[in-house]
Copies of this chain bind each other. A is one copy, B any other.
């Protein structure tokens, strides 16, 4: 999704968190929201997004509802109960990742 490959592995966290904040969203909406929030810094690609949504659904983290709006299909996703728990896990993992990287990279943030 970007020149930096640090984003690899972050997509599910992003999707889950957005759905946690917005109750229900459809795929295209997610791409636009991410672009908007990051002021174009991060653009998630459809080739990554849709398979990821399908996976999250198959794992039971998301429920789907298909609607037709203005004659165009929209697949709305929302968190299940386990999906909400998984969101918390993923956010913890992100904070842990950031803390760990800071200890390695920034002497001011030493662990312990």
Question: Main secondary structure on chain A at its contact with chain B?
Answer: helix
Q: Distance in Å from the Cβ of A59 to the closest Cβ of chain B?
A: 14
A: contact size bracket: 20 to 34
Residue in B closest to A39 when the chains form the complex, CB atoms: B111
| CB-based contact B39/A97 at 8 Å | no
| CB-based contact B39/A104 at 8 Å | no
Residues of B contacting A91 in the complex (Cβ-Cβ under 8 angstroms): 105
Asked if A96 is at the interface of the complex by the 8 Å CB criterion, the answer is: yes
Query: Do A7 and B9 form a contact, CB below 8 Å, given A17-B105, A94-B105?
Result: yes
Asked if A4 is at the interface of the complex by the 8 Å CB criterion, the answer is: yes
Residues of B contacting A96 in the complex (Cβ-Cβ under 8 angstroms): 4, 41
Residue in B closest to A42 when the chains form the complex, CB atoms: B100
| CB-based contact A4/B41 at 8 Å | no
Write out, one digit per residue, whether chain A residues 68-112 have a CB within 8 A of any chain B CB (1) or not (0): 000000000000000000000001011011101101110000111
Residues of B contacting A49 in the complex (Cβ-Cβ under 8 angstroms): none
